[in-house]
């Protein structure tokens, strides 16, 4: 499986991501292990999950396999916060306190002290956009997330984020279209602040820049 650098960053991912939305529900532990083995054997690296998947049990199942099926250092972990389900009803809370509490709980379930990319799982019309973005910024600055992004934002919501002059967050390429062909997409967002303050990781060598193609959006399986 090929690898891609995302936008102008040093963030490198496999061209396909392994989604875990059905884990701990339709997909039991044995099947999940087989899926992960097959994915890693095919040189896949990016694994996507979320705090809301199976009420957090998908993250816990994935966390139980890190260090067993595959080393934590060999995969790119992405998770999301801001969505929960109770009694079959979906609710969104992208407030700073809720988002950061969910991130800490995700890290505990995954058994790691950081995720490679952390997404705001959905737009929250009841919370100021700047508050949601401040949670993403704090996750970056505290080292709990190496990169951050938005998920399931539709066109006008993403446009509002781009027009927010008070926000330091912008899509990697403002002209990028969704690689999923869907009106909703996941964006990996860089900061306008200096690279040392927003991106964590060593610079890639020139040889790697020539050999590994780039992409301006990341396809994430699951919802």
Helical packing angle, 96-110 and 129-142, nearest 10°: 40
Q: Which residue has the higher pLDDT, 207 or 150?
A: 150
List active site positions: 53
Q: Residue 161: enclosing H or E segment and its boundaries?
A: helix 155-163
Confidence (pLDDT) at 44: 97
- Encode pLDDT of 11-44 as tens digits: 899 999 999 999 999 999 999 999 999 999 999 9
Say if CB 185 and CB 217 are below 8 A apart: yes
Tell me the domains of the chain and their CATH numbers.
3-83+92-215 (3.20.20.100)
pLDDT at 173 > cutoff 50: no
Task: Find the mean pLDDT for residues 47-73.
Answer: 96
């Amino acid at each position: 499986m090929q690898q891609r650098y995302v936008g102008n960053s040093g963030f490198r991912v496999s061209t396909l991501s392994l989604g875990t939305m059905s884990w701990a529900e339709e997909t039991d532990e044995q099947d999940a292990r087989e899926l992960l083995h097959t994915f890693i054997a095919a040189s896949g690296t990016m694994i996507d999950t979320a705090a809301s998947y199976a009420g957090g049990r998908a993250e816990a199942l994935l966390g139980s396999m890190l260090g067993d099926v595959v080393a934590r250092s060999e995969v790119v972990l992405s998770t999301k916060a801001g969505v929960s389900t109770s009694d079959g009803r979906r609710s969104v809370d992208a407030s700073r306190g809720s988002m950061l509490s969910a991130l800490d709980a995700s890290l505990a379930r995954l058994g790691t002290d950081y995720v490679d990319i952390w997404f705001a799982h959905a737009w929250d019309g009841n919370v100021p956009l700047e508050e949601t973005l401040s949670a993403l910024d704090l996750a970056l600055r505290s080292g709990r997330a190496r990169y951050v992004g938005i998920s399931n934002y539709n066109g006008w919501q993403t446009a509002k984020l781009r027009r927010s002059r008070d926000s330091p967050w912008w899509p990697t390429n403002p002209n990028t279209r969704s690689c999923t062909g869907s009106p909703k997409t996941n964006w990996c967002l860089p900061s306008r602040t200096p690279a040392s303050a927003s991106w964590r990781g060593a610079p890639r060598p020139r040889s790697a820049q020539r050999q590994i193609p780039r992409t301006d959006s990341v396809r994430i399986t699951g919802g």
